[in-house]
């Protein structure tokens, strides 16, 4: 940045940067004057074989979806390469969305029979408990506390908590450097809870979404954003001149598909579906066409935990 500029002009530049980021996140395009970063290319995405799932019986959730004629799936809409909604078309894309589509096909529902609904981190358990969604796919960590309220198929991916800072920040290298710093995360998330309990000297700020945190990072309102590396790498990849992911991973976040707690038939059917799509190559293809674009290479999918 030009050091000769006035504070007002600098603030203006930051507001502009935030506006550009918002635009980039919304449209999947890059900053003005730079080539747009690659977004998921529809042609690279696998298409999933829709199966006859009539032998799956005894799931109240699935029965309701069958009589409704479509699935309602909870997701995120502001997490690049994972779950992102195109405001112009209303379409959702990303790795989590592909997971939702591949398992939906195994339940007998083609992609055009899936209605996605954005649900924030703090509202996932309630949405599943109230029947607002049939299942939820959105960077949702499986843990024992949540298992008291909902069920989980999977895991289908493993992430870890990390930190996103401004590109020119040289003071934060890991969670040990957060004392006195303003750190932003999504309310109700495991990264938020971990900062609260393990790093109480950080000044923790909670918003509904990570994109709100990222806007505040770019405009200097906070010093760091913390959540899973998979999410942070997506934001950094959209504006690599402004942001960077730093430090080691300091947690293990196995991602599951959230289901209503007592619908064991649905949970086990989703475990079967995940396993089948991992074995037939769909999982890897979906990863490479989505999350792979933020710089991650496809790992081996984790062992599914049927319980
Ligand atoms: N995986 C973490 C969680 O489930 C953070 C990401 C999120 O908030 O979705 O809380």
Return per-residue pLDDT of the chain as tens, 307 residues. 333 334 444 444 444 445 545 444 444 443 444 444 556 666 788 999 999 999 999 999 999 999 999 999 999 999 999 999 999 999 999 999 999 999 999 999 999 999 999 999 999 999 999 999 999 999 999 999 999 999 999 999 999 999 999 999 999 999 999 999 999 999 999 999 999 999 999 999 999 999 999 999 999 999 999 999 999 999 999 999 999 999 999 999 999 999 999 999 999 999 999 999 999 999 999 999 999 998 889 999 999 999 9
Domain membership flag for residue 265: yes
Domain encompassing residue 191: 161-246
Task: Give 183's strand partners.
Answer: 204, 224
CATH number at residue 104: 3.40.190.10
Please tell me if the CB atom of residue 125 comes closer than 6 angstroms to any atom of ligand 1.
no
| Residues 222, 140 within the same domain | no
Please tell me if the CB atom of residue 185 comes closer than 6 angstroms to any atom of ligand 1.
no
| Residues 206, 138 within the same domain | no
Largest CA distance in the chain: 70
| Residues 139, 179 within the same domain | no
| Residues 53, 166 within the same domain | no
Total of domains in the chain = 2
Q: Which atom of ligand 1 is nearest to the CA of 227?
A: 5
Ligand 1 center to 278 CA (angstroms): 23
**In this structure, which long-range contacts are made by residues 204-211, counting pairs with CB atoms below 8 Å and at least 24 apart in sequence?**
208/120, 208/121, 208/122, 209/76, 209/78, 209/120, 210/78, 210/79, 210/185, 210/186, 210/235, 211/22, 211/25, 211/78, 211/79, 211/235
104 exposed, middle or buried (CB, 10 Å; 0-12, 13-18, 19+)? buried
Domain membership flag for residue 181: yes
| Residues 151, 177 within the same domain | no
Other CB atoms within 10 A of residue 165 CB? 26
Domain membership flag for residue 236: yes
- pTM score of the predicted model: 0.89
| Residues 262, 148 within the same domain | yes
Nearest CA to ligand 1 atom 8: 189
Ligand 1 center to 69 CA (angstroms): 30
Task: Give 241's strand partners.
Answer: none
| Residues 65, 99 within the same domain | yes
| Residues 267, 232 within the same domain | no
Q: Which two tokens stand for residue 102?
A: 């591949």
Ligand 1 center to 148 CA (angstroms): 17
C-alpha span between 41 and 205 (Å, rounded): 35
DSSP string over 87-127:
TTT--EESHHHHHHHHHHHHTT--GGGEEEEE--GGGHHHH
Domain membership flag for residue 19: no
Q: Is the dihedral of CA 78, 82, 83, 86 positive or negative?
A: positive
| Residues 108, 171 within the same domain | no
**CA angle, 125 as apex, 80 and 204 as ends, to 5°?**
60
């Amino acid at each position: 940045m030009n050091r000769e500029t006035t504070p007002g002009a600098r603030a203006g530049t930051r507001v502009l940067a935030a506006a550009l980021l918002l635009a980039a996140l919304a449209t999947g395009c890059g900053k003005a004057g730079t080539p747009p970063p690659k977004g998921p290319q529809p042609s690279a995405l696998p298409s999933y074989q829709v199966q006859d799932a009539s032998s799956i019986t005894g799931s109240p959730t699935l029965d309701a979806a069958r009589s409704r004629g479509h699935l309602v799936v909870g997701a995120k809409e502001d997490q690049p390469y994972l779950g992102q909604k195109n405001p112009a078309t209303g379409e959702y894309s990303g790795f989590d969305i592909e997971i939702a589509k591949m398992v939906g096909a195994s339940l007998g529902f083609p992609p055009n029979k899936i209605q996605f609904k954005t649900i924030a981190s703090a509202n996932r358990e309630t949405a599943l408990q109230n029947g607002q969604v049939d299942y939820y796919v959105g960077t949702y960590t499986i843990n024992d506390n949540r298992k008291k309220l909902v069920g989980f198929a999977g895991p289908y991916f493993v992430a870890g908590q990390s930190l996103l800072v401004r590109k020119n920040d040289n003071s934060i290298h890991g969670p040990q450097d957060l004392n006195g710093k303003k750190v932003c995360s999504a309310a109700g998330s495991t990264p938020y809870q971990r900062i609260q309990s393990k790093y109480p000297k950080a000044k923790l700020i909670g918003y509904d979404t990570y994109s709100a945190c990222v806007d505040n990072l770019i405009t200097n309102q906070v010093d760091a954003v913390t959540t899973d590396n998979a999410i942070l790498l997506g934001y950094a990849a959209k504006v690599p001149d402004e942001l960077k992911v730093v430090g080691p991973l300091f947690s293990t976040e196995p991602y599951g598909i959230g289901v209503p707690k007592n619908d064991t038939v649905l949970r086990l059917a989703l475990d079967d579906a995940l396993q089948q799509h991992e074995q037939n190559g769909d999982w890897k293809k979906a990863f490479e066409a989505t999350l792979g674009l933020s710089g991650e290479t496809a790992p081996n999918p984790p062992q599914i935990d049927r319980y």
